[in-house]
Amino acid sequence: MRGHRRHVHDRPHARIRVNLGAEEKAVRAELVTKAAKVLVAHERTKDLEPGWYIGKIKLYGVSEACKKACRSANFLVKYTKKVTGSALEGDEALELTKANYGRDEWWLLLEPSAA
């Protein structure tokens, strides 16, 4: 995949499945429709310093090919060199759920949802 992130860790606690109610499904749809900005934590890799990087939600539901990097991925997040200071570029398959949301977890929503 062109522009795919160099290395994505399969986070052990990211395998938790969360059943979404009707309200949560509406929020998920809004995140994709508005290309919401998210702040995503990344661990140190050979080519990447650890830290939080801003990306935009591109779509919900990822292909099996994208799930090779993160088996429980449910969203595709797009990064640009301009926003990440040239650290990341392209799409990354990630699991973005309530179970791994928060400042002490793996991701944060930067734009509040109206739903």
Q: Is residue 83 part of a domain?
A: yes
Q: Is the pTM of this model over 0.75?
A: no
Q: Is residue 6 part of a domain?
A: no
| DSSP letter (8 states) at residue 29 | H
Looking at the 3D structure of the chain, how many domains does it have? 1
Domain with 79 in it: 12-109
Task: Give bridge partners of residue 92 from the DSSP assignment.
Answer: 77
Q: What is the pLDDT of residue 35?
A: 81
Where helices occur in the chain by DSSP H, the ranges are 22-33, 81-84
For tokens 């499945």, what's the residue?
A: 17
Q: Is residue 19 part of a domain?
A: yes
Residues 6+ apart with CB under 8 A from 21: none
Walk along the chain (115 residues) in steps of 10 and give the mean pLDDT of each run.
40 40 70 84 90 93 88 93 94 91 89 57
Task: Give bridge partners of residue 75 from the DSSP assignment.
Answer: 60, 94
Token code pair at residue 16: 């938790």
Q: What is the pLDDT of residue 113?
A: 53
Q: What is the pLDDT of residue 82?
A: 96
Task: Give bridge partners of residue 90 from the DSSP assignment.
Answer: 79
Shortest CA distance to 58 belongs to which of 43, 37, 39?
Answer: 37
Q: Is residue 68 part of a domain?
A: yes
Q: Is residue 4 part of a domain?
A: no
Q: Is residue 60 part of a domain?
A: yes
Q: What is the pLDDT of residue 92?
A: 93
Query: Distance between CA 82 and CA 84 in Å, rounded?
Result: 6
